[in-house]
């Protein structure tokens, strides 16, 4: 038996830029300075329409993960995986059996104790036939979940899976007797769901019997907006303490050089991706894809959208993933070689193509810049504005598209390129194998090696055009400190936030 | 009765048109339950759950059946009862529309009468020009302007949002409704003022006013006793329509001020293709318009004895 500590799971390879960004924001308010009873109001654009985590909706992660619900493991703001409800775990020699010991004396908000049965129930509801969770696939290798006693969970998997603890960090542990969780919550986190008003707010209050450290504030209200200007106005007028999203660099001007506000920039996992449907002509031709990538002046594009903010990454992998490498040099802006590649592929005179563009920013601005850049190599790009719902139906489900713009927000999601059934239409058997093999590796170093190799191949293949990594810019009232700034997977831990007296 | 029947018929027709239009739009309510990473089997399962995999004719049949049972159903996205959710939203939209409407009358009635009585004075001209401008200004723009001045610059009122405590703290609810209500009031007062002014002009030129003055009544006496009741009859029927406009205006203004009313519910539901919520909001809004029209009718009959005598209350 091998005992895995936290550090084994933590990716050591990480870009220097990330380590620098991954610190907590703001100054350090000493214990005496802050008001432990202060309510913190957080402005957000991502209202959860349902609170049921087995339905994959963005806003749940932000308001509930780590705050109301906890998992066996937690993905920290720095991108590390640490033990949470799992106090310890062991892995068998064949790496197919994981035995988890649960934290003792953990209570759900309803007052019931956490038992192994709750953990089993929580994992199985994501794996269930009717589950709509995007995380279902990541748990498909599980063959059985046993609960020999109330504090032990034994998970058996069909083949070794190094990401099991990581994948379990996404599974909210819910009370197995809670019933329908779409408009109620029963978790083990530092806050309980006090009240909510659809279209307006979710109010979380500290849970008195929390097993860990109590929050440094008296609760948090997530206040929801449909327009970034309205959210900025609310911050300006003191109606909210923190704005989790600044829509554009222009909006920052009203807060910059103002001592009443703090601007914190972190690294996100939110990437602006120009995906080409690799399964249809002419995008099945690698030369065409590379030509398109080289025709786009990505530094200029990023500057037009975000000014001095945001990062060019040159691949699908965000810097907080352990297998990140800077691949900006692959298919960098080079219109001359792009034209040569087009000619070589037989498209000297270019072609017409349609871009499915969700009608939200920054996609609309990006689409117009792409239109101009691609015209240089003879590609006549027409922009088709669609709603996010239509995007899901037309592009994701039916794969009825040539090119599309979309923001990919997940952490560690390179596996999408290892799935030939995914909407990218990309199928390189070598990449599929590398990604599948990486999962069965015994050490993190080997996993990182395989996935780094896969990432390079994907970039060389120009399987997509990875335009830029969106910055995550939080603006807060300057009397508020201790909030997370990276927002990986859109998560937002509120328990360390302090408000000065 | 005929009027009620017409409104119910139009409710039915509107729902049917809406049903078909929604299904002609690209998109699928199942998408609201899913996110990137879901596989085809999960997508099909979600479609089966919301019924979007069924042929249109079948969906239509079950929609009709629900309509006749007066069952608004539950949201596709969160299983919440549509009726309960609308009830919660109306605690925002109805006060907002009513306050906006009352404010608009407080502006329009006196100004309309003043500018009707003294047509040749300079201030009547000014009022007339302002009302023209008011008609031309889009509601959302007016809202943004008011936020800039009264929230950002002066800091007197919140720029938007609604207290989490709701009506448990009426003071904070009312504070949050002031600017949106003023926005609505300014926009509809502009058109109301024109109706009041033209009704005043009609009254002033009428035989009964001349007769009253000839019998020795002073102008204020004659105007208060004969002019106002007569002039208010056409104005009330217009006000019924204006109250419905205030209600629809509230739906737009809610977005500007981030208020969780019926309008924001409708927009979210449309984005998510959450058919039960969309249909529910439409039906309840139509019902409200029906009730307002009915009340305006009743009020007219109370004021005008001719209507009371010649026809029954329920025509």
pLDDT digits (tens, 9 = 90+) for A125-177: 999 888 888 888 889 899 999 999 999 999 999 989 999 999 999 999 999 99
Within this chain, do residues B50 and B88 fall inside the same structural domain, yes or no? no
Note the pLDDT of residue A28: 47
Residue A303 pLDDT: 93
CATH of A271-469, one of 3.40.50.720, 3.90.1300.10, 3.10.105.10, 3.40.50.1700: 3.10.105.10
Number of C-alpha atoms within 13 angstroms, CB side, residue A443? 4
Alpha-carbon gap: B64 to the closest alpha carbon of chain A (Å): 25
Given B22, B40, B68, the domain boundary residue is B68
pLDDT at residue number A11 = 34
Domain assignment of residue B119, yes or no: yes
pLDDT tens, B3-35? 678 777 877 787 788 788 888 877 788 887 887
Is B76 contained in some domain? no
Question: Residue A384: its chain B contacts at CB < 8 A?
Answer: none
pLDDT band at A26 (very low <50, low <70, confident <90, very high): very low
Structure tokens that stand for A416 in this block? 């999408």
Say if residue B11 is in the same domain as residue B149: no
CB-CB: which of A49, A52, A132 is closest to B38?
A132
Specify the CATH number for the domain of residue B304: 1.10.3720.10
Distance CA A69, CA A175 (A): 10
B196 and B144 part of one domain: yes
Q: Based on the domain organization, do B46 and B87 belong to the same domain? A: no
Do B102 and B58 share a domain, yes or no?
no
Q: Is residue B146 part of a domain?
A: yes
Give the closest of A55, A199, A230 to B260, CB-based: A199
**The CATH classification of domain A7-50+189-268+471-499, taken from the options 3.90.1150.200, 3.20.140.10, 3.40.190.10, 3.40.50.300:** 3.40.190.10
Are B37 and A224 within 8 A, CB to CB? no
Q: What is the pLDDT of residue B109?
A: 86
Residue of A nearest to B143 (CA): A230
Residue B75 lies in a domain: no
The CATH homologous superfamily of the domain defined by A72-168: Dipeptide-binding Protein; Domain 1 (3.90.76.10)
Chain B: nearest CA to A162, how far in angstroms?
A: 20
Q: What are the C-alpha distances in Å from A339 to residues A119, A296, A344, A463?
A: 56, 12, 9, 19
**What is the ipTM score, two decimals?**
0.82
Q: For residues A122 and A172, is the Cβ–Cβ distance under 8 A?
A: yes
In a domain, B310, yes or no: yes
**DSSP state at residue A462:** T
Q: Quick one: B276 and B248 in the same domain?
A: yes
Write out pLDDT tens, residues B91-135. 999 999 899 999 988 988 888 888 887 777 888 788 888 888 877
Interface test with A, best of B23, B34, B96, B145 (most A CBs within 10 A): B34
Of B34, B166, B255, Cβ closest to residue A392: B34
Torsion of CA A6, A8, A13, A15, to 10 degrees: -10
pLDDT higher than threshold 50 for residue A29: no
The verdict on A236 touching B (C-beta cutoff 8 Å) is: yes
- B272: contact with A, CB 8 A cutoff: yes
- What does the pLDDT look like over A171-208, one tens digit per residue? 999 999 988 888 899 999 999 999 999 889 999 999 99
* pLDDT value for B310: 55
Chain centre distance of CA A171: 14
Which range of A294-298, B187-191, B281-285 scores highest in mean pLDDT? It is A294-298
Q: Write the CB contacts of A187 (distance below 8 Å, at least 6 apart in sequence).
A: A64, A68, A69, A70, A108, A109, A172, A173, A174, A175
A400 touches chain B (CB under 8 A): no
Q: CB distance from B85 to chain A under 8 Å?
A: yes
A258: its two tokens: 């103002």
Q: At what angle do helices B228-256 and B139-146 cross, to 10 degrees?
A: 70
pLDDT at A257: 86
Chain B residues touching residue A58 (CB < 8 angstroms): 35
Q: What is the structure's pLDDT at A22? A: 37
Which secondary structure element, helix H or strand E, spans residue A74, and what is its range?
Answer: strand A73-75
Residue B229 in domain: yes
Q: Does A195 contact B at CB distance below 8 Å?
A: yes
Return mean pLDDT, chain A: 88
Q: Is the pLDDT of residue A210 over 80?
A: yes
Angstrom distances, CA of residue B65 to CA of A235, A323, A432, B10, B70:
48, 55, 50, 18, 9
Backbone φ/ψ region at A343: left (φ over 0), alpha (ψ -120 to 50), beta? alpha
pLDDT band for position B222 (50/70/90)?
confident
List residues bridging with A98 in a β-sheet.
Answer: A91, A155
| B20 and B109 housed in the same domain | no
Residues 208-267 of B with CB under 8 A from A: 255-261, 264-265, 267
pTM, full prediction? 0.86
Chains A, B: CB contacts within 8 A come to: 154
Checking if the pLDDT of B305 tops 70, the result is yes
Give the span between the Cα atoms of B269 and B250, in whole angstroms.
17
B77 in a structural domain: no
* CB-CB neighbors (< 8 A) of A129 in chain B: 45
**Same domain, yes or no: B62 and B181:** no
Closest residue in chain A to residue B37, using alpha carbons only = A134
Pair (B49, B104) in one structural domain: no
Residues B174 and B116 in one domain: yes
Closest residue, chain B, to A414 (C-alpha)? B37
Number of folded domains that form chain B: 2
In a domain, B255, yes or no: yes
Tokens 């039915």 locate to B12
Q: What are the sequence ranges of the domains in chain A?
A: 7-50+189-268+471-499, 72-168, 271-469
Q: Which domain holds residue B19?
A: 2-68
Query: Over 90: is that where the pLDDT of A246 sits?
Result: no
| B158 and B211 both lie in a single domain | yes
Backbone torsions φ then ψ of B141, nearest 5 degrees: -70, -45
Distance between CA atoms of residues A251 and A165, nearest Å: 39
Mark whether B95 and B145 lie in a shared domain.
yes
A433 pLDDT tier (thresholds 50, 70, 90): very high
Q: Is the minimum CB–CB distance between A273 and chain B shorter than 8 Å?
A: no
Give the whole-number percent of chain A exceeding pLDDT 90: 65
Test A389 with B32 for CB contact under 8 angstroms.
Answer: yes
Decide if pLDDT at A249 tops 90: no
User: What mean pLDDT comes out for the span B224-230?
Assistant: 78
Burial B240-253 (b: 16+ CB within 10 A, else e): bebbbbbbbbbbbb
Given this model, what pLDDT does residue B242 score?
81
Note the pLDDT of residue B308. 65
Q: Please tell me which of the candidates B36, B77, B161 has its beta carbon nearest to residue A234.
A: B161
In the prediction, which pLDDT does B309 show? 62
Q: Is A131 on the interface with B (CB under 8 A)?
A: yes
Residue B188 sits at the chain A interface (C-beta within 8 Å): no
A183 and B80 within 8 Å at the Cβ level: the answer is: yes
């Amino acid at each position: 038996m091998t005992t895995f500590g936290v550090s084994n799971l933590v990716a050591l390879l990480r870009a220097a830029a990330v380590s620098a960004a991954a610190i907590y924001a703001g100054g350090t308010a000493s214990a005496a300075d802050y008001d432990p009873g202060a309510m913190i109001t957080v402005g957000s654009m991502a209202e959860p329409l349902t609170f049921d985590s087995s339905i994959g909706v963005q806003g749940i992660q932000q308001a509930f993960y780590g705050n109301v619900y906890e998992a066996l493991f937690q993905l920290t703001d720095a991108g590390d995986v640490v033990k949470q409800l799992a106090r310890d775990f062991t892995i068998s020699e064949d790496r197919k059996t994981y035995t988890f010991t649960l934290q003792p004396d953990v209570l759900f908000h309803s007052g019931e104790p956490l038992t192994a049965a709750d953990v089993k129930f929580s994992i199985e509801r994501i794996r269930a036939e009717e589950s709509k969770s995007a995380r279902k696939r990541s748990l498909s290798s599980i063959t059985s979940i046993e609960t020999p006693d109330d504090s032990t969970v034994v998970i058996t998997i069909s083949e070794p899976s190094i990401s099991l603890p990581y994948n379990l960090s996404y599974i909210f542990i819910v009370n197995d007797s809670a019933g329908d969780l779409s408009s109620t919550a029963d978790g083990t986190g530092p806050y309980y769901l006090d009240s909510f008003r659809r279209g307006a707010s979710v109010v979380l209050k500290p849970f008195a019997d929390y097993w860990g450290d109590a929050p440094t504030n008296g609760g948090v209200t997530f206040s929801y907006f449909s327009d970034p200007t309205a959210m900025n106005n609310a911050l300006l007028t003191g109606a909210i303490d923190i704005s989790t999203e600044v829509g554009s660099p222009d909006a920052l001007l009203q807060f910059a050089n103002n001592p009443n506000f703090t601007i914190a920039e972190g690294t996100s996992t939110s990437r602006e991706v120009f995906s080409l449907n690799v399964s249809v002509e002419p995008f099945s031709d690698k030369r065409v894809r590379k030509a398109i990538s080289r025709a786009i002046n990505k530094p200029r594009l990023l500057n037009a959208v975000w000014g001095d903010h945001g990062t060019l990454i040159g691949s699908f992998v965000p810097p907080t993933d352990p297998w990140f490498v800077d691949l900006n040099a692959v298919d960098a802006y080079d219109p001359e070689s792009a034209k040569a590649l087009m000619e070589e592929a037989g498209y000297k005179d270019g072609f017409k193509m349609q871009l499915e563009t969700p009608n939200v920013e920054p996609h609309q601005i990006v689409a117009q810049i792409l239109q101009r850049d691609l015209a240089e190599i003879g590609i006549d790009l027409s922009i088709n504005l669609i709603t996010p719902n239509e995007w899901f139906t037309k592009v994701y489900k039916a794969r009825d598209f040539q090119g599309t713009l979309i923001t990919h927000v997940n952490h560690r999601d390179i596996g999408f390129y290892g799935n030939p059934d995914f909407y990218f239409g990309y199928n390189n058997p070598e990449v599929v194998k590398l990604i599948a093999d990486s999962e069965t590796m015994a050490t993190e170093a080997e996993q990182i090696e395989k996935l780094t190799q896969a990432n390079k191949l994907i970039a060389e293949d120009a399987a997509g055009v990875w335009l830029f990594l969106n910055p995550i810019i939080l603006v807060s009232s300057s009397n508020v400190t201790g909030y997370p700034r990276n927002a990986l997977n859109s998560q937002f831990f509120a328990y360390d936030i302090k408000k000065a007296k | 009765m005929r009027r009620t029947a017409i409104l119910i018929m139009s409710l039915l027709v509107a729902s049917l048109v809406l049903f078909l239009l929604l299904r002609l739009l690209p998109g699928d309510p199942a998408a609201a339950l899913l996110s990137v990473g879901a596989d085809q089997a999960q997508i099909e399962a979600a479609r089966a759950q919301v019924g979007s995999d069924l042929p249109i004719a079948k969906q239509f049949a079950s929609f009709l059946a629900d309509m006749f049972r007066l069952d608004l159903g539950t949201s596709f996205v969160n299983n919440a009862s549509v009726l309960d959710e609308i009830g919660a939203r109306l605690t925002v939209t109805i006060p907002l529309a009513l306050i906006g409407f009352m404010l608009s009358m407080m502006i329009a009635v006196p100004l309309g009468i003043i500018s009707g009585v003294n047509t040749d004075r300079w201030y009547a001209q000014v009022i007339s020009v302002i009302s023209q401008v008011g008609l031309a200004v889009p509601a959302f723009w007016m809202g943004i302007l008011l936020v800039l001045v009264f929230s950002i610059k002066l800091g007197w009122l919140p720029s938007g949002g609604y207290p989490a405590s709701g009506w448990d703290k009426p003071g904070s609810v009312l504070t949050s409704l002031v600017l949106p209500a003023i926005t609505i009031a300014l926009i509809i007062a502009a058109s109301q003022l024109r109706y009041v002014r033209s009704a005043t002009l009609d009254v002033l030129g009428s035989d009964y006013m001349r007769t009253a003055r000839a019998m020795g009544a002073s102008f204020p006496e004659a105007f208060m006793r004969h002019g106002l009741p007569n002039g208010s009859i056409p104005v009330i029927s217009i006000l019924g329509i204006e109250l419905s406009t205030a209600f629809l205006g509230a739906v737009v203004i809610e977005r500007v001020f981030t208020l969780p009313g019926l309008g924001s519910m409708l927009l979210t539901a449309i984005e998510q293709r959450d058919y039960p919520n969309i249909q529910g909001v439409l039906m309840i809004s139509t019902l409200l318009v029906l009730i307002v029209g009915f009340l305006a009718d009743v009020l007219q009959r109370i004021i005008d004895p001719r209507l009371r005598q010649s026809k029954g209350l329920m025509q």
